[in-house]
Each structure stands twice: as structure tokens, then as C-alpha cells.
């Protein structure tokens, strides 16, 4: 898996490409970032995903990074956060976009400073949250896709700063209809944002978000359900686990895989049986052959299969449910994937150390 995938950046004021919604089977696998140009039935909402892979446990990225990806490379303005907020609400098209860049960059800098125990340069605090709340309350309900991104940015920032109203607004953004979100851009990003802050939320908000993600998992759109299954890894609770367990028998490898990985992140071994099957490359190869017949050859590319199998082994290791030693030895000796061979050898050496006298307890 490429850690720096090529992502298409779309102008927030550019109308999305029209498209028609196809079968759930045409939604992307865990690796798809590029356009499904050859797939007439591809869901338009997943043709240009702008978010990282959910399949990586505990790696749903922070909200500011998501917004940065959504709106483009950060650059430019040294205006204060308050000045940027004013421009976001009252400026022209280019000024509003530049203000969004500035706000996101400043939020990233604040997060980075706090993670290092430093005092942030920018005064993004409780008083600024009050300004964001007021600004969000004054934004009219969008009537077209190009009008969604300003409330989306404001709700995202308030949610990240701990505002319950911002969390509730993001939950509502996961329910946008196709008229306002024909490319699924805002629904997709709202799911990732809510997942990224899930463990930090107080119980009432976490329960609200978990219910919304469970509704998506149990809903008719398998693509959004797959994304929501990733978000549930950060929303612990028996209801989350039951919803994920319901995906373990899915016909789709990506849904089974994500559900099992999310369950492992929640400390449940309910998906261990699925993970043990997915140690082998064959299920992924079969899925890739189907994707190629459907005109989506980028799905389940070899590097994605490799990375997915490594994550399967890592999850099984954490759960204490690794394959038997003979199977690990077979992987280390015979598997076609050098990354899997290396990981299997590492696991063999680790288990040998633990079993040896004086080894790890």
C-alpha cells in the first residue's frame, strides 16, 4: 500500500461531474483513489475518493488533514484565524477558498504544537469556538453542492474543538441526499471525521455518532457502510460490535476485512476466523479478477493485497490468534509476496523467543 497515494484535489466551487448511481458491487475496494473511468456502473460518489484508507486500524486521520485534502494544498495567508473566518463568510470565491486554506493550516499547526507540548502560535481556543458557532448558525441551508463546503468546514472545525452541535451537524452531513452531494464527497469526509474523533467524544455524542455509523453499516449503500465500518473501530460499545459482526458474512472481501479489523481494534476476536482466511492471498486474487472483469483494475492491486495481508497478520498477533506455526513456516518459505514472507519469519522468530527458556513472558 502506498502511504502517499495520489489524490485528485477538486476545487470546492467546481460542480461535481454528473453520474448515475450503480450497483453496490461497483463501489471501491480499500485501495481505490483513482477514477473508475472504465466502469459505466461505478457509483459517482466513489469515483474520486479524497480520504485515506479506512482499512488501517487506528489510522483514521484527524479532521484537519481531511479538510486539507478536500480543499487542496495548504498555502498562503498569514491572516489571523479570526480574519480568515471573516473572509470565509464574507469574501469572494477565491478569498473564501484561501481563507479555508488558512484556517485549516492554522488548525494543523495548533494540533501539532499541542502534540509536542508547545503553546500554539494561533489563538484557536474557546473564544474562537464561540465565533465558529455563531458563524455556523448564520450560514443558510445549502441548496446546491457548491454551497455545502462552507457549513462543512465550520461544522468540522467546531466538532474538532469539542462542540456537541458541530458533532450533530456532521452526523446530519452523513445523511445528505444525492442532490446536494452527488459525488458522496461530503458524506465520505463526514464519516471519516466522526470516526477520527470518536474516542475523544463524551458518551452522549459518541452514542449519537455510533448510531449514525451503525445505520450506515446496516443500510443499503455498501460503499458508505464500508466507510462507516472503519469509523466504528473508534466508537467502542456492544452495538458497534454487533453491527460489525453482521458484516463478517458479507459477499465482499473489503467489508469482511474491514469489519474484522475494526473488531480487532475494539479488542474483539469475533472476526478472527475471517482474518485467518484472509491470511491467504486467494480471496483477494479472486476479488481482483472480478474487479478486472468489471472494468476497475485498480481495485485490489498487488501492493494493496500485500498491505492488507500484513494488517491481517498484525491484527491476529494482537488478538493472540496467529495461524499455527506450520502455516507461518509455509508462508515464510513459499509465499509469493516477499513482504508476507518477511512478516511470517518475524512472527516465527518472535514466537520462538517467547517459547525459549528465559524468553519473553
The predicted model gives 157-161 an average pLDDT of: 84
Q: What DSSP letter does each residue of 301-320 carry, written as one string?
A: -HHHHHHHHHHHHHHHHHHT
Alpha helices (H) along 21-163: 63-71, 81-90, 93-115, 126-137, 149-160
At a CB cut-off of 8 Å and minimum separation 6, what does 317 contact?
347
Distance CA(17)–CA(45), nearest Å, equals 10
Give residue 357's pLDDT: 53
Give residue 102's pLDDT: 77
DSSP character at residue 139: S
Task: Decide if pLDDT at 54 tops 90.
Answer: no
**Nearest one of 60, 62, 65, 59 to 314, comparing CA atoms:** 59
Task: Decide if pLDDT at 7 tops 80.
Answer: no
The owner of cell 474520486 is 48
67-101 per-position pLDDT tens digit: 454 444 444 446 888 888 888 788 876 777 777 77
What's the topology of domain 24-249? 1.25.10
Q: Which of 10-19, 30-39, 62-71 has the lowest mean pLDDT?
A: 30-39
| pTM, to two decimals | 0.74
- Band (pLDDT 50/70/90 cuts) for residue 135 is confident
Give residue 156's pLDDT: 85
Give residue 360's pLDDT: 42
226-267 per-position pLDDT tens digit: 999 999 999 999 999 999 999 999 998 989 999 999 999 999
Give residue 312's pLDDT: 94
Distance CA(223)–CA(45), nearest Å, equals 9
Give residue 257's pLDDT: 92
Q: What DSSP letter does each residue of 152-175 carry, written as one string?
A: HHHHHHHHHTT-HHHHHHHHHHTT
CB 311 within 8 A of CB 281: no
Give residue 116's pLDDT: 78
**Nearest one of 285, 178, 275 to 224, comparing CA atoms:** 178
Domain boundaries, the chain: 24-249
Give residue 78's pLDDT: 67
- Band (pLDDT 50/70/90 cuts) for residue 281 is very high
3-state DSSP of 218-272: CCCCHHHHHHHHHHHHHCCCHHHHHHHHCCCCCCCHHHHHHHHHHHHHCCCCCCH
Give residue 245's pLDDT: 98
179-216 per-position pLDDT tens digit: 999 988 889 888 988 988 898 899 999 999 999 999 99
127 vs 134: which has the higher pLDDT:
134
Amino acid at each position: 500500500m502506498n502511504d502517499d497515494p495520489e489524490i485528485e484535489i477538486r476545487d470546492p466551487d467546481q460542480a461535481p461531474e454528473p453520474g448515475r448511481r450503480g450497483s453496490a458491487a461497483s463501489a471501491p475496494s480499500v485501495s481505490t483513489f483513482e477514477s473508475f473511468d472504465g466502469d459505466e456502473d461505478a457509483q459517482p460518489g466513489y469515483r474520486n475518493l479524497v480520504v485515506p484508507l479506512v482499512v488501517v486500524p487506528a489510522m483514521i486521520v484527524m479532521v484537519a488533514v481531511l479538510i486539507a485534502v478536500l480543499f487542496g494544498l495548504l498555502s498562503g495567508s498569514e491572516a489571523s484565524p479570526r480574519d480568515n473566518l471573516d473572509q470565509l463568510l464574507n469574501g469572494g470565491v477565491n478569498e473564501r477558498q484561501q481563507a479555508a486554506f488558512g484556517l485549516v493550516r492554522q488548525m494543523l499547526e495548533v494540533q501539532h504544537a499541542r502534540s509536542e507540548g508547545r503553546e500554539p502560535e494561533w489563538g484557536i481556543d474557546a473564544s474562537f469556538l464561540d465565533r465558529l458557532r455563531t458563524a455556523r448558525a448564520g450560514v443558510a441551508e445549502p441548496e446546491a453542492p457548491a454551497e455545502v463546503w462552507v457549513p462543512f468546514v465550520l461544522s468540522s472545525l467546531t466538532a474538532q474543538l469539542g462542540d456537541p452541535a458541530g458533532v450533530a451537524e456532521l452526523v446530519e452531513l452523513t445523511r445528505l441526499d444525492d442532490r446536494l452531494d452527488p459525488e458522496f464527497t461530503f458524506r465520505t469526509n463526514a464519516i471519516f471525521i466522526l470516526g477520527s474523533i470518536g474516542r475523544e467524544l463524551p458518551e452522549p455524542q459518541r452514542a449519537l455518532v455510533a448510531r449514525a455509523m451503525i445505520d450506515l453499516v446496516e443500510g443499503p449503500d455498501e460503499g458508505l457502510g464500508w466507510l462507516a465500518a472503519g469509523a466504528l473501530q473508534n466508537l467502542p460499545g456492544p452495538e458497534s460490535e454487533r453491527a460489525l459482526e453482521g458484516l463478517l458474512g458479507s459477499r465482499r472481501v473489503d467489508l469482511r476485512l474491514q469489519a474484522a479489523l475494526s473488531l480487532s481494534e475494539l479488542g474483539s476476536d469475533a472476526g478472527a476466523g475471517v482474518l485467518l482466511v484472509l491470511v491467504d492471498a486467494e480471496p483477494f486474487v479472486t476479488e481482483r479478477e472480478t474487479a478486472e472483469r468489471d472494468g476497475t483494475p485498480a481495485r485490489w492491486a498487488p501492493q494493496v493485497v500485500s498491505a492488507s495481508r500484513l494488517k491481517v497478520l498484525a491484527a491476529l498477533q494482537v488478538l493472540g490468534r496467529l495461524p499455527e506455526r506450520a502455516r507461518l513456516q509455509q508462508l515464510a518459505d513459499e509465499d509469493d509476496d516477499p513482504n508476507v514472507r518477511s512478516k511470517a519469519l518475524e512472527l516465527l522468530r518472535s514466537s520462538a523467543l517467547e517459547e525459549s527458556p528465559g524468553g519473553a513472558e
